[in-house]
Structure 1
Amino acid sequence: MSGRSRASIIMVIALIGVLVFAFGSWYIGTRNNLVQLEEGIDAAWAEIDNQLQRRSDLIPNLVSTVKGYASHEEEVFTNIANARAKLAGAGSVAEKAEGYNEMQGALSRLLVVAENYPELKADGNFTRLQDELAGTENRLAVARKRYNDQVKQFNTKIRIFPGSIIAGSMGFEKRDYFEIDEAARTAPKVDFGS
């Protein structure tokens, strides 16, 4: 074998080695990025779960305070208990979102009931609990946005080429957004006329 053909073979082997290294680096980098994005989603979900738990812990105190003034509003209290149980038993993002929406509706009805009792609205404990609940709702909205941003970034990465190739081979699947129901976006109507 001549020196020139030996050099050509070495060049081809080196080129193949560089290509294999480049592909391997790209593959590992993309896979690691997908894992980081998925971990970000899990961390953001943990924060939502934390805020949902905080809100669930506030609700019994709020209900107890309202019960002291409006004990005959049993249906509202039952709806809150049922919604709270549903939310606590939810496993998937979709189930949590459904439980969240149901809880929002029940809480809205509770606050409408509270509007009918001026002495309740003046109660310091009720006001403090309402403020804590409002703060928790704000933190929950921020956590939900962070989670949905992470999900969007992850879902985009696993759907576009070439990340879709790795995502498919590694079993990464599209994640669900945490969306609120349209009915929960509208403020309840309070009617003092009836």
Structure 2
Amino acid sequence: MSTTLIIILVIIVLIILYAVLYNGLVRARNQAQEFQSQIDVQLKRRTDLIPNLVETVKGYAAHEKTTLEEVVRLRNSVVSADNLQDKVDADNMLTGALRQVFALAENYPDLKANQEFGKLMEELTNTENKVAYSRQAYNSAVQYYNTATQTFPRNLIASIHSFKPMEFLSIPEEEKQAPQVKF
């Protein structure tokens, strides 16, 4: 084989390798962004369910107005958050307020038996599970993307094309603490 042919083959192999590595980085970044979008979709679905829940509870627990107002306020903070981490933080506070609403149902047997309330509770629970899954999937995708951008030889391509590390979603300190059980 001639030297020219070998050089051409090496160049072709390098171009193909470069394209494969670059495309892998793009796929990893897009997958992380897709999971981020899924979190937004699930949080939106959840915040859309909350007004119906509040209206259902209002009829049964009129004197629990402050709890319901807090849920609405926190729902609005989720909707108005500017970035994903702020949305997740606001959603975590909303989760705590919703637990209080669910606890109200224990004090109002008629509310607990209400079909609409039961349906809303089930939908919120399902959505909460989807949010948790989306958060986990997002962090996994971010981990894969960040590893890809920091390991050789993809790190060379990542630096050339300005692939920046992505941030993991963090868990609030109060959720990291183990619950205390007292008898």
Q: Using structure 1 for the length normalisation, give the TM-score.
A: 0.81
Aligned partner of 1:25 in structure 2 is: 16
Quote the offset at 1:153 in angstroms: 1.0
Partners of 1:176 and 1:43 lie apart in 2 by 14
Please identify the structure whose Cα radius of gyration is greater: 1
Stretches of 4+ aligned residues off by more than 4 angstroms:
184-189
| Aligned counterpart, 1:192 | none
Aligned length: 180
What is the identity percentage for the equivalent residue pairs of Structure 1 and Structure 2? 36
Question: Is 1:106 matched up with 2:97?
Answer: yes
Asked if the contact 1:37/1:154 (under 8 Å) is kept, the reply is yes
Displacement of 1:74 after TM fit? 2.5
Determine if the alignment matches structure 1 residue 38 to structure 2 residue 33: no
1:120 aligns with 2:111: yes
* Structure 2 letter corresponding to 1:170: H
In 1, the alpha carbon distance for the partners of 2:133 and 2:42 equals 10
User: What is aligned with 2:130?
Assistant: 139
- Residues 182 and 119 (structure 1), Cα distance of their counterparts in 2 relative to 1, 3 Å cut: farther
Q: Say yes or no: does 1:65 pair with 2:56.
A: yes
Counterpart Cα distance in 2 of 1:120 and 1:185: 32
C-alpha separation in 1, matches of 2:22 and 2:69:
48
CA distance in structure 2 between the partners assigned to 1:25 and 1:123 by the alignment:
62
Match of 1:173 among 164, 172, 176: 164
Structure 1 partner of 2:82: 91
Residue number in structure 2 paired with 1:162: 153
The AA in structure 2 aligned to 1:42 is Q
Question: Letter of the aligned partner of 1:141 in structure 2?
Answer: A
**Per-residue deviation at 1:119?**
2.2
Equivalent position SS for 2:30:
helix
Aligned to 1:74: 65
Q: CA deviation at 1:157?
A: 0.5
Report the CA distance between 1:185 and its aligned residue.
7.0
- The residue type equivalent to 1:158 in the other structure is T
- With normalisation by structure 2, the TM-score equals 0.86
Q: Which secondary structure state, in structure 2, belongs to the residue aligned with residue 161 of structure 1?
A: coil
- Note the alpha carbon deviations across 1:110-151, whole angstroms, 9 max, x for none: 222332222221222111111111111122222222222211
Unaligned runs of 5+ in 1: 1-6, 190-194
